[in-house]
Structure formats: C-alpha cells, structure tokens
Amino acid sequence: MKEEFYISLVGEAFDGYTKASFEEKPVYIKHVSIRDQRYLHNYYEKYKEFALSKGLPSEEYQLEYVKNEGIWEDSDELSIENLKFEIKNLKQTARAVFLQSQKESFINQVEEKSKELIALQEKRKEIVGQTAETYAEIRSGDEILRFLLFKNKELTDHLYSEEEFGELESWQILKLSEIHREVQKRLTDSTIQKAVLRPFFNMYLSLCEDVNGFYGKPITELTIYQLRVVLFGRMFYNIFQYTEDIPDHIKDDPEKLLSYSESQRNGDKNSGGIKDDSDASAVFGATAEDMKNLKAKKGNVSLSEEAEKAGGKLDMKQMMRLAGHDV
C-alpha cells in the first residue's frame, strides 16, 4: 500500500475518530476507549437477559440440544479446539525456528488452518441457530453503532437520537454498519504494525516509551487504536535497539521482524556462532537467503569445516547446536 494510506491511518488513530460520508453528509465514527468498552458491554448483557426472559435458549442449552439430536458432535467441537491449539503452536514455532524460510512456511500453515477454523465456526453457528447470545450480539450491535456515530469531530453530538435511530430503514442501518466495519478493517493490528514501521513514523518510535507524554492525556482516555500505535511502536523500537544484524529486507515486515527477533533471542542463550562463508548446501533445509541471515553472535564456526567433519552435510539438529540452541 502507498505511504499516504499509512499516514492517514496513523492520523485517524491520533484523532480518535474516522470521518466518512453517509447520505451525502459527513459522519464521524468514534474509536472505542477503555471506558467505552465497559459501557458497551452493558448493552450486550441487557439484551441477553431480555432474550432469556422471553424464552430464547442460551447457547449452552442449544448446543446440548443439537448434540443430542446428532446434528453436531462432540468430535466437531473437539476439532474447533484442536485447530485453535494447532494455530497457537504453529505461531509459537514460527517465532522459534531457526531459518527464515521455515518461519514463512509455518506462517503459511497458520493462514490455512485459520481458514479451516473460520469455516468450522461458521458451520457451528448455522447449526446451533438463534440463541440469547446471538440475539444480544445483534441488538447490542445496533445500539453500539448509534453510540459511535457523531455529527461533529468533537464527538459531542450524536448523529441520531435513540428515537431517530429506531426509525431508520433496515438498508440504512446495514449501510452504516458497513461503514463501521470498513473502519475496523483499516485499523487492524496488522495494518497498525505496518504503519509504525514506515519511514515517516521513525522519528516517533522512541517517543512511544512515554505514553502519557506522547498523547498528552491519561491512558484511561485513550482509544484502543491509540494504545495499539504506542504499544507496537514501543515493541519495534526495543527490537531495533537490542537486536543485532537485522536484514534490511525485513525491517518493514512486522511478522518477519518479530520472528527474527525471537530467533535471535533464542540463539543468544548460549555462545557459539556461524560464519556466513559457506553456501546453503552445507546446511540441511537452508536457502541462500537463510544463509545471509545466519550471523555470528559470539565467536565463529566454519560451516564448511563442520560439514566436512559430519560427512559433507549438517542436519538440522547439528546446525542448531552450532548456533547455540539446546536440542
């Protein structure tokens, strides 16, 4: 994406709102703060209790019902939990593996497993059907939407009163919901991480250490996106300060940068290093790009010499031992 996109993204986070247009009029969508989250949660609980009082089943009850009917099995539920566990482990492994090419392989596996998980969760939702929880999500979602819409950038005048909002057509609410979803899609953790790694933000990275000084107001008044900007800025600033020999081609890639930092910390646990004077054929599974990233931390070991001792090749265990990993 272009630099202007990320500049605009950070600007929105700083402002605490996103400006959009609805029915040819400006609308200002407030970004949620910590205080707001507690307030908004009350909407959900109110509608959940209302639904239960009117006889709508809870998710727990409905899930037990579809299991008894044989429509959904315990094995299906277990598959969801297994996928969650597998994704978590793949992410941890991606941070810990030695070679960059292998990290990328694990990241790709995470993406594939995540797609499987989403598909299974959607199937579960369809089978379980309407519950007090899903009713509460829909109704509280409407109230939350009205709560976040304002006429002015000072965020003092709501776009609609409760009565006015209740008179809107379904298509109007759907359109407003779509506008809000677009805001959420723009300001994901991934895009914010990429934004703080862009050249224009370099001068701000060190300032992220002082959250109060950065924004000039207490943390309790900050939006979630404002907090994420300084959180990720601080995280990457520390990586740049304390991680040596970061390859240039990963300095603006959050996922690769985090993985590289993690692997370097693992590699620093013991002394020992690897010279970059040998080719990838000496390392089992390594690509030429991997070899560029294998830098010595303490002392030097010639891969060529070690490979010759091992009969011409080093397997992954031998390689990781040379790099200081305890395997």
**How would you write the pLDDT of the chain (327 residues) with one tens digit per residue?**
688 999 999 999 999 999 999 999 999 999 998 888 877 788 888 899 999 999 999 999 999 999 999 999 999 999 999 999 999 998 888 777 666 677 788 888 999 999 999 999 999 999 999 999 999 988 888 888 999 999 999 999 999 998 999 899 989 999 999 999 999 999 999 999 999 999 999 999 999 989 888 998 888 889 999 999 999 999 999 999 988 888 888 899 998 888 788 777 766 544 344 444 444 444 455 565 655 555 444 444 555 566 666 665 555 556 556 555 555
Q: Give pLDDT, residue 98.
A: 61
Domain boundary among 187, 207, 227: 187
Helices (H), ranges, 26-169? 34-53, 59-68, 74-96, 100-128, 132-148, 162-166
C-alpha 195/C-alpha 2 separation (Å) is 11
Whether 14 is in a domain gets the answer no
Whole-structure pTM value: 0.67
Whether 248 is in a domain gets the answer yes
Backbone angles phi and psi of 238, in degrees to 5 = -65, -35
In this structure, are 101 and 158 located in the same domain? Answer: yes
C-alpha 52/C-alpha 73 separation (Å) is 25
In this structure, are 106 and 218 located in the same domain? Answer: no
Whether 3 is in a domain gets the answer no
In this structure, are 53 and 157 located in the same domain? Answer: yes
In this structure, are 138 and 259 located in the same domain? Answer: no
Whether 107 is in a domain gets the answer yes
Whether 91 is in a domain gets the answer yes
Number of domains in the chain: 3
In this structure, are 179 and 218 located in the same domain? Answer: no
In this structure, are 80 and 157 located in the same domain? Answer: yes
Cα 245 → chain centroid? 26
Q: Give pLDDT, residue 273.
A: 41
Q: Give pLDDT, residue 217.
A: 87
In this structure, are 43 and 180 located in the same domain? Answer: yes
Cβ–Cβ < 8 Å for 62, 124: no
In this structure, are 276 and 249 located in the same domain? Answer: no
Q: Give pLDDT, residue 297.
A: 42
In this structure, are 64 and 24 located in the same domain? Answer: yes
Identity of the residue numbered 6: Y
CA atoms within 13 A on the CB side of 251: 13
In this structure, are 224 and 301 located in the same domain? Answer: no
C-alpha 212/C-alpha 219 separation (Å) is 7
> Under DSSP, is residue 287 helix (H, G, I), strand (E, B) or coil?
coil
Whether 79 is in a domain gets the answer yes
Q: Give pLDDT, residue 312.
A: 59
- Residue tagged 């829909």 (tokens): 138
Q: Give pLDDT, residue 271.
A: 38
Cβ–Cβ < 8 Å for 191, 228: no
Domain that includes residue 299, residue range? 268-322
In this structure, are 35 and 168 located in the same domain? Answer: yes
Q: Give pLDDT, residue 34.
A: 82
Domain boundary among 240, 263, 286: 263
Q: Give pLDDT, residue 272.
A: 40
CA atoms within 13 A on the CB side of 44: 9
Whether 214 is in a domain gets the answer yes
Domain boundary among 135, 160, 187: 187
First to last CA, the chain: 41
In this structure, are 80 and 182 located in the same domain? Answer: yes
Whether 10 is in a domain gets the answer no
Distances in Å between the Cα of 160 and the Cα atoms of 16, 32, 142, 254, 320 are 20, 18, 12, 39, 62
